[in-house]
Amino acid sequence: MKKENKVVLTPEGYLELERELNDLKLNKRPEVINALKYARSLGDLSENADYDAARNEQALLESRIKELEYKLENSEIATKKDKTIADVGSTIEIEYAPDDIEEFKIVGSLEADPFNNKISNESPIGKAVIGHKAGETISVESPNGSYDVILKSVK
């Protein structure tokens, strides 16, 4: 498989996708099947809104299951080899200016959640800091221009 088809995930991200897939297969799928059975029992399918809604829900569910299976089959779990170097899975502190420090966890693009300080390895900061150690000044290339940050810590 080509490298660009790989989905980079932290071990936690992989488990989260696996949990969602299991929930969809074991819980949600039977619910949708029961809704379809019930809707069929109501009679004429050509004008049965319940049946149409259940079929649409089934299509969305099966699509999400296929998507999750693809992502899990084509995932690459990031494992930190050197705890002192920033990489996917690292929690880092970035200093933008004196007394302006933020903490982020570097995750794969599927797990990114800026509101919870989880930044993608493909984001400008993520790309810039990967491979660097605490104490280094790093230039970040962003769509708004470049700026320097100090990598305060890597955990």
Both 98 and 71 in a single domain? no
Of 138, 133, 134, 131, nearest in space to 152 by CA: 134
Give pLDDT tens digits for 116-145. 999 999 999 999 999 999 999 999 999 999
Residues whose CB is less than 8 angstroms from the CB of residue 145 and which lie 6 or more positions away in sequence, other chains included:
none
Residue where a domain stops, chosen among 77, 103, 124:
77
Indicate the residue among 42, 77, 112 that finishes a domain.
77
Domain presence at residue 28: yes
**Number of domains present in the structure of the chain:** 2
Supply the range of the domain harboring residue 42.
3-77
Residue 4 is predicted with a pLDDT of: 55
Average pLDDT, the chain: 91
Q: Both 33 and 98 in a single domain? A: no
Domain identity same for 68 and 96: no
DSSP conformational letter for 108: -
Give 116-124 contacts, CB < 8 A, sequence gap 24+: 121/8, 121/78, 121/88
Q: What CATH number does residue 23 fall under?
A: 1.10.287.180
Section 68-97 average pLDDT: 92
> 7-38 pLDDT, tens per residue?
899 999 999 999 999 999 999 999 999 999 98
